[in-house]
Chains A and B, each alone.
Chain A
Amino acid sequence: MKLFNLFRIAYRSLNRNKLRSFLTMLGIIIGVASVIAMLAIGEGSNQTIQKSIASLGTNSIYIFPGTNANGGVRGGAGSNQTLKLEDADAIAAHCDLVKYVTPLVQRKSQIIFGAKNWNTMIIGIRNDYMLIRSLSITKGSGFSEADQRSAAKVCLVGVTVIFNLFGDENYNPIGQIIRINSIPVKIVGVLAKMGQNTFGQDQDDIVLAPFYTVQKRMMISTDHIGSILASGKSELQVVDAVDQITSLLREKHKIAPSDEIDFTVRTQSELSNIFGSITKVMTILLASIAGISLLVGGIGIMNIMLVSVTERTREIGIRMAIGAKGRDVLFQFVIESILISVVGGVIGIVVGVLAAELVATFGGWPVVITPLSIILSFGFSSAIGLFFGWYPARKAAALNPIDALRYE
């Protein structure tokens, strides 16, 4: 049998039964489109949730100086000054589970602009700080490496500070000089509004400056740093990163294994746990959506294929009576199924992507179309279409021609 002839036969057969071909295709289109659209919406939600959780800093690692014990009276965490800049540099250099690290120095200061003044927290940072805290800048720009090296008199300000110094949150203060502890500092950027943190603290009441600017120009002691902020490579590796940091600092501070360490390493383990369970819920949700969509789509395809092939048993009888071999009939049905699956699958992908984009545009919902959802839905629908095109045809082709002809 010439393959081309079979293609011609299959094409003619699809073409003269347009409604049936379309309905079969519709099963595949809906199956593929619904999986793609549902997964795109689900994955979009998942990523949005993950991003907003990540912005809380679940993989952040806080390193504070240890406690100070003086004649039996112990101070609280951070009461001792044991952390140095070298500690932060060493963590950056040697801890491979740590992604970003910045030393921090901070102090409450009075800031003045014109006739207005305000007391706020000045934090000296390296540029990694912005990445660890997921901070973004709405106006102006961040610090350059040159600013960092030269202890440039520049700063980034939060909107609460702008409101209190300039009277309007939306005022553009780029280029204005404010005085911090009588030191003139130029505003180079405005931090995006963060609102209040989990504990009701205003996160926009803040001024950031390059690390050396604060350490060398504004602090009394230039030897020690306030704390170190770092982030793990991923949420899951935070615990291991903490171990790495602890053993590194233990070594650097020359603390015997039996002695108490002179620093404290903390993480947001509570947040991490919540994050883990949310991720798990989202994964299960997405898997169920995909599974149910595939099942529904698959049953639709199966039904129309089974019904149409049963209806076509007589046709198979006619074809066999005029000389079609069993495998000719089988090939014809398989080619028809492939054509329907491929065309329907491609239309389904287009419809699914469009539906997802519509939701994104009009629903304002974030969607993420993953290649996996396309491969999964297309592969599964085609497989179902092929199998249920092939299997009943095989049964019909195995009949005696006369039985197929007399089939009611």
Chain B
Amino acid sequence: MAETENLITVKDLTKTYQTGSVEVFALKAISLTINKGEFVAIMGASGSGKSTFMNIIGCLDNPTSGEYLMEGKDVLTRDKDELAELRNSKLGFVFQSFNLLPRTSAQENVELPLLYNNKVEASVREQKAIDALTSVGLADRLGAMPNELSGGQQQRVAIARALVNAPLVIMADEPTGNLDSKTSYEIMGIFQKLNDEGITVVMVTHEPDIAQFAKSNIVFKDGKIIANHPVTDRKIAMEELKKIATLTDENSTT
């Protein structure tokens, strides 16, 4: 039962922007259900509404109309503080541009969500941050500043930050947009591992290659969902990385 439990349910979700006198529909009556344990890749061209959709289900933005339930409970009637708590404890964000605080060490960046969480005692804060960074393979870079880290490492810090409050869902907006393909695969490897551990992942991407790592793909076009299907030949990051490794080996030997 737990496997198929509804985590996110949206009904007739609509978002319009007013540009001058023209009303632009970013989302047109989207209805969708995401179950616990899923790994969804949301695809589409730029301007298709995929990022807007992601920001709304991530409680960073408000829809113009529609319904949004999380774990069966209404989200849109909550006030700002309740939404902040929701983002803090149930959601984890990973952005294309990493959005780490500058001049702040990896560990302090990861501790940040814990500082905003009243349920976390000061005594466990440090250990939780270290654990999260260890789980993304950065146990040896705790004190590093963002500008001392590579793009892939920065994104891992961001993932650790998203993980640290043990969220239900990780929302990733173009997480590999600024990374090369090998690093992208490594990040996908982390997402797949987290997903295997039971965390739902919702990821926006425009790269079909990256979308192949998800369990299902949803395609947006002009503010509507035009396709929603499971991934048939799903890629497994560990295997892809091995292939790259052998390719480079072959290149270096010839």
Contact = CB atoms under 8 A, between A and B. Distances in A.
Contacts of A328: 84, 116
B169 to A, nearest CB: 14
B110 to A, nearest CB: 10
Q: Which residue of A2, A317, A323 has the most chain B CB atoms within 10 A of its CB atom? A: A323
State the majority secondary structure of interface residues on A: helix
Contacts of B81: 325-327
A1 interface: yes
A15 to B, nearest CB: 9
Nearest to A6: B115
A318 B101 contact: yes
Interface in A266-321: 314-315, 317-321
Contact of A322 (B55, B104, B112, B118): B112
A317 B61 CA distance: 12
B128 interface: no
A323 B60 contact: no
A402 B17 CA distance: 14
Interface string B92-117: 01010001111110001000110111
B86 to A, nearest CB: 8
B62 interface: yes
Contacts, number: 76
Interface residues on B, range: 20 to 34
Interface string B150-169: 00000000000110010000
Given A17-B103, A323-B87, A400 B62 contact: yes
B221 to A, nearest CB: 22
B84 A9 contact: no
B87 A12 contact: no
A208 B103 CA distance: 79
Interface in B55-92: 55, 58-62, 80-81, 84-85, 87-89
Interface of A: 1-2, 4-5, 8-9, 12, 16-17, 314-315, 317-328, 400-402, 405
17 contacts: A9-B112, A315-B101, A318-B101, A319-B116, A320-B87, A321-B93, A322-B93, A322-B116, A322-B162, A323-B89, A323-B113, A325-B80, A325-B84, A325-B85, A328-B84, A328-B116, A402-B61
5 A-B pairs closest in CB distance = A323-B88, A16-B103, A402-B60, A325-B84, A401-B60
